[in-house]
Structure 1
Amino acid sequence: MTPNAATTPTHPLPALPCPFDESFARDPYAVHARLRAAGPVHRVALPDGSPVWLVTRASDVRAGLADARYSVNKRHSTTGFSGFSLPPALDANLLNIDPEDHLRLRRLVSGGFTARHVELLRAGVQDCVDELVTGLADEIARSGEADLVDGFAKPLPLRTIGALLRVPAADQERFSDRVATMLAPRSKEDLVAAVADVHRFLVELVEERRARPGDDMLSSLIAARDEEDRLTEDELVSLAFLILMAGSETVQHVIGSGLLTLLTHPDQLAVLCGDPARLPDAVEELLRYTGPHQTAIRRFPTEPVEIGGVRIPTGDTVLFCLASAHRDPERYPDPDRFDIDREDKAHLALGHGLHYCLGAPLARLQITLALGALLDRLPGLRPARPVDQLAWTTTFRFHALRALPVTADL
């Protein structure tokens, strides 16, 4: 990982306020509310000093995510966002490329994530859920409590996506741990090491599958590369990276924070337990209320744009704040209230526009089956620690539980 010399500023930037401080770590939603009330867009600094435009209001965020004038390709940046770039073999994924190449690559993997294909995966996901719930129950019976994150929320999506790509079970946790370090590194050295390890892991996985192909998605992508020349080697490795990362992180964090939300809102939990058919409604409200992604992936205007009367120059970095949009009272009445009866169930937690999440149907299936099984099979399920003692990882990118000790009446 090296500095992006083509986009590093050649002149000193003025000091900018950084809202992602200790108060943000304690309560990101309060900071979002303050910024949203102060204006629709703010020029702020990230923790590393990089200047960005932070867009706060639901209407502007939704419109911006679908606006073709914004590029996700870092070549359009003029501000040197974050001061580094991933290796090409991880960077050439759907999150970093614009329409023509994006649609070409998207078509290569979209068949594996259609609603029809995902439904065929239901039985396998349910088996995995049942096995993990049994493991939780056994641990609670043995020790009095169990960590829902490590014991359930983390392995479920890893096994699901691992099955799609046929990743050996012994390697799934290694990949997850390094991705977690990439998303919230303790230091630049940790970040560099994590990126290098993830890259090496994926290159080895592709080499192994190339030698012994199967009927999995990764084998199909390798065939598209080797036999049909429909993608480059870097695009192949980058697609595997994105499928594994995006397919595991969101589901893990929504299950963890989603269950905590249900357990700390007994009135809503009672409604759900009284009518389990409402679970899909609850999942959509959980995605709005406690979705882990604070901001969408950065974008760069390819021409000057105006948001709320503020002119943003070509090439500046723009962050559309999903968490702020989801708590915007102009869009959602009483937005800080968790309400599975909420009429407006539209949200941006799984993207919007060209970059809408390909794996959305599979994510919804896993979250729905997971929460349903946990509530059905673990009577009296509740946190085993005071809620204010739970540890969170909070950055400008995401907000997620590190652990959730739970107990139950078994």
Structure 2
Amino acid sequence: MTTTPEIRALRPGIWPATAEQGPDGVLIIGGVPVTDIAERYGTPAYVFDEADFRERCTTFREAFHDFDVYYASKAFLTRTSARIAEETGLSLDVCTEGELAYAKAVDFPAERILLHGNNKSEADLAAALAYGVGRIVVDSVEELDRLEELVPRFPGSRPGVLLRVTVGVQADTHAHIATAHEDQKFGFSLVSGDAEQAVRRVADSGLLELRGLHSHIGSQILGTAGFEAAAKRLAELRARLAQDGIELPELDLGGGFGIAYTEHDVPTPAKEMADNLRTVVEKECAALGVSMPRLAIEPGRAIAGPAGVTLYRVGAVKHRAGIRTFVAVDGGMSDNVRTALYDATYSVQLAGRVSDAPPALVRVVGKHCDAGDVVVREDHLPSDVRAGDLLAVPGTGAYCRSLAHNYNQIPRPPVIAVAEGRAREIVRRETVEDLMRLDVG
């Protein structure tokens, strides 16, 4: 619950690095006033700070200099984001044929692409083999079957394979995004022995190149304890297999590094995370008497999340005496379903004018016919907030555009990239005509 009684300036750590608020109260991102963006492109609109995104890519590349760093494209994927990831030296994590198509569109080097997913179709796998992706993370026995059946159709192909292991770690995060405990859909179980059996199968296969193990414990994780526990369990499995001559040169610890959505969130800095993970694996390998593997991580939210801000226009304000003020905007759960889906917490800021009015506790809600249509569950805005006001919600760069949908047949917003005082539309706004074009009945 947000209890700070005063209207605050931009809170550090939540907004893109270039964000500032002028004396007239107008929010500026990438040197562009958001009032100009709203006037030119309409609202709601996703604003993407290219400089912030690029800086975070570079920060992870430098902090994890001896790791393979795969940008988890499912967090936010456009041609522009894929191109920046490539230019800053990151590799790319894709989950489907569709995500791979974006990588191909910008000529992303195939050897630096990793294919993820828990139920990859034959089409997904075939597209990866045809492009020659560097790594495929196998999630099930059935995927192994499909992959081994497909490989002979691609002469000369011998894909590098990582086996995703369910390590039995309960991450400190929302249940829907905790992915390494036994009661969920991902990976081969470590406890049951399925993971070891799968590794032995691939080791005996002449079709696949066994590269190592993979783990992903969840998302929006602010500390390191869960990653460290997973790393230790993977190292133990790796050492056990090494006794039988099965070498696993790579260890992918996944992603899920959290960000600050409010001032109460304190994420672990990238360098500290890198140092902790490196040290844990080094100590464990030394204790077990095995060589140090090549490590990999997959940051997505931690790169894209703070680089994005969503702009909304207020349409209605309802004061419920003794309860709160409801501020209805022109978007909602179709452009940000995370509040409804994960009980996610966001902040909000008046972005188009100055106000000296005292603060009011508000809930920012959307325009959908659903009581769960909430964008910001609880924060403060000036008590004179009114129809026509421009609001900005930070921290929406990850998973908002990716999870956007057309509930109530509402077209999805555009993505507006800003940099050095210029704004450009990199994903255009959907139209009703776009929706109708798919209905061929």
Instruction: Decide which structure has greater helix share.
Output: 1
Fold shared, TM-score > 0.5 on shorter chain: no
Which structure has the larger Rg? 2
Relative contact order, higher structure (CA 8 A, sep 6+): 1
TM-score normalised by L of structure 2: 0.27
Instruction: Decide which structure has greater strand share.
Output: 2
